[in-house]
């Protein structure tokens, strides 16, 4: 018996809202190779707090100052150097899985916050530690602005983080469910003994943890503008039709001719390239379905003709520098000795 499932979220592109819709799974059907539950029933959520027509732009946009010829033919934030002559390194943050410990349609939070965390890493030039955002705190408190486990919107994520800030992941780990918004569901701590004897948990006051903000945010669309935004400032979040990703394994995804895409997912785009064998230009994209999916959690898709609508609705944000960015580093050793110097030749 073949499992008939269709996915979540339709987008009203004009309103920039992602709405949730879906079909039921056959009970008793065997799991697919990359199991992902889908949303149930015709569930529609709006985002009354979203300022859908507002971008907050304070500085010049990359497409206003970067000329086409400055763009390299390939570029990948997973493997690049920030300065001429500097060693190559990864400036992307950890891969995520929105579907554990249970199914949650929170692609919008994962795609937008992964791109933002990468941008902090780039701004901090890869210094320890990576900043990880609390997706659960956003799920709990961003429901009217950004979304829920039933779909959401990347612009709303950046609006929320701009207006209210977001704590780090150690305040509130991902539980893949919609909870209430209060101090306890934003940042908490607990004391022994462990359950079932102990239930001693409390809200950590706001002055005890850092909230991270963005200074500006907005939309970008079209191949060239996306490339310039990514190249100048870091990864971006984009809407996409994820149905053809169900069967993706590796290589450059090229949608079938005549395929009619509809937006139902959000991912982050972190670079581009050109296929060495057949010359197909592609995007380098991070998904949030775990590293056992695709190319270690990532995929490539044809670039330049709006494949699966990936070049239509993308979003960027510029993180606001905070002294807490260096707060962690002050505890790192100041030894600063390069490993190669200590061990002689170390090559991987
Ligand atoms: C963020 O996650 C990465 C990967 O798990 C980890 O190395 C890093 O220390 C984390 N950062 C913080 C501040 O917890
Ligand atoms: C908040 O920080 C203060 C000062 O470091 C500390 O005394 C207090 O116990 C902390 N409160 C909580 C709830 O963690
Ligand atoms: C850094 O974050 C803290 C806590 O959220 C905030 O009080 C402070 O104003 C921020 N500092 C800067 C320089 O943005």
Identify which of 37, 147, 157 has the alpha carbon closest to the alpha carbon of residue 99.
37
- What are 192's two structure tokens? 């022994």
32-36, 43-47, 90-94, 269-273: segment of lowest average pLDDT: 32-36
Choose the catalytic residue: 140, 264, 287, 313: 287
Predicted confidence (pLDDT) at residue 211 exceeds the cutoff of 80 = yes
DSSP string, 66-84: --GGGS-S-EETTSB-SST
**Other Cβ atoms within 10 Å of 86 Cβ, number:** 10
- Asked if 114 contacts 153 with a C-beta cutoff of 8 angstroms, the reply is no
Dihedral over Cα of 174, 180, 185, 190: its sign = negative
pLDDT at 199: 82
pLDDT of 256 reads 96
Does 150 participate in catalysis according to the annotation? no
Closest C-alpha to 103, from 28, 156, 53, 178: 178
- Residue % of the chain over a pLDDT of 70: 81
Domains annotated for the chain, with CATH where assigned, are: 49-327 (3.90.70.10)
Q: By alpha-carbon position, which residue is closest to atom 10 of ligand 3? A: 322
Is residue 279 very low, low, confident or very high in pLDDT (cuts 50, 70, 90)? very high
The three-state secondary structure class of 56 is strand
What does the pLDDT read at residue 339? 57
Closest by alpha carbon to 105, among 141, 139, 133?
A: 139
What residues are in contact with ligand 1 under a 6 Å CB criterion? 94, 129-132, 168, 170
Strands, E assignment, the chain: 10-12, 17-19, 75-76, 147-148, 151-152, 166-167, 188-190, 201-203, 211-212, 214-220, 236-240, 252-253, 265-274, 281-286, 298-302, 314-319
Q: Tens digits of per-residue pLDDT, 291-323?
A: 999 999 999 999 999 999 999 999 999 999 987
pLDDT > 80? residue 194: yes
Cis upstream peptide for 340 (omega within 30°):
no
Nearest 5°: CA angle at 27, between 23 and 33?
80
Kindly report the average pLDDT of the chain as a whole number: 86
Radius of gyration for the chain, computed over Cα atoms and rounded to the nearest angstrom: 21
Around ligand 3, the residues with Cβ closer than 6 Å are 210-211, 320, 322-324
Rounded Cα distance, 54 and 264, in Å: 22
Average pLDDT (116-125) is 96
Task: Specify the pLDDT at position 334.
Answer: 65
Q: Is 226:203 a contact under the CB 8 Å cutoff? A: no
Mean pLDDT of 105-128: 96
CB 325 within 8 A of CB 120: yes
- Contact between residue 318 and residue 217 where contact means Cβ atoms under 8 Å apart: yes
Q: pLDDT class for 2, splitting at 50, 70, 90? A: very low
Q: Which of 38-52, 94-108, 130-144 bottoms out in mean pLDDT, i.e. has the lowest?
A: 38-52
Give mean pLDDT, residues 136-151. Answer: 96
What is the number of the ligand closest to the CA of 324? 3
Distance 323 CA to ligand 3 centre (A): 7
What pLDDT is recorded for position 313? 96
pLDDT tens-digit readout, 5-60 = 333 333 333 333 333 333 333 444 443 333 333 332 223 357 999 999 999 999 99
The pLDDT assigned to 4 comes to 32
**Is residue 3 predicted with pLDDT exceeding 80?**
no
């Amino acid at each position: 018996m073949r499992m008939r499932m269709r996915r979540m979220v339709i987008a009203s592109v004009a309103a920039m809202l992602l709405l949730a819709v879906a079909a039921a799974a056959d009970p008793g059907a065997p799991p697919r190779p990359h199991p992902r539950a889908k949303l149930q029933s015709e569930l529609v959520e709006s985002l009354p707090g979203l300022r859908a027509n507002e971008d907050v732009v304070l500085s010049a946009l990359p497409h206003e100052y970067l000329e086409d010829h400055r763009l390299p033919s390939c570029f990948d934030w997973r493997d690049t150097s920030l300065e001429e002559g500097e060693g190559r390194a990864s400036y992307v943050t950890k891969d995520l899985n929105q579907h554990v410990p249970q199914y949650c349609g929170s692609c919008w939070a994962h795609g937008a916050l992964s791109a933002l965390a990468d941008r902090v890493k780039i701004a901090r030039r890869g210094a320890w530690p990576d900043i990880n955002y609390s997706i659960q705190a956003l799920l709990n408190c961003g429901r009217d602005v950004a979304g829920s486990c039933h779909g959401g919107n990347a612009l709303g994520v950046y609006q929320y983080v701009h207006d209210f800030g977001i704590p780090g992941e150690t305040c509130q780990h991902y539980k893949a469910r919609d909870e209430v918004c209060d101090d306890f569901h934003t940042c908490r701590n607990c004391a022994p003994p462990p359950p079932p004897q102990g239930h001693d948990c409390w809200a950590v006051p706001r002055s005890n943890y850092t909230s991270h903000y963005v200074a500006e945010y907005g939309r970008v669309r079209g191949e060239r503008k996306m490339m310039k935004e990514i190249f100048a400032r870091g990864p971006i979040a984009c809407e996409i039709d994820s149905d053809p990703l169900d069967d993706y394994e590796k290589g450059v995804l090229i949608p079938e001719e005549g395929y009619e895409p509809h937006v139902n997912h959000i991912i982050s785009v972190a670079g581009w390239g050109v296929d060495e064998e057949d010359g197909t230009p592609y995007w380098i994209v991070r998904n949030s379905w775990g590293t056992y999916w695709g190319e270690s959690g990532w995929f490539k898709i044809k670039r330049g003709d709006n494949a699966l609508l990936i070049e239509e609705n993308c979003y960027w944000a510029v993180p606001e520098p905070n002294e807490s960015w260096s707060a962690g580093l002050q505890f790192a050793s100041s030894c600063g000795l390069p490993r190669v110097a200590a061990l002689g030749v170390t090559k991987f």
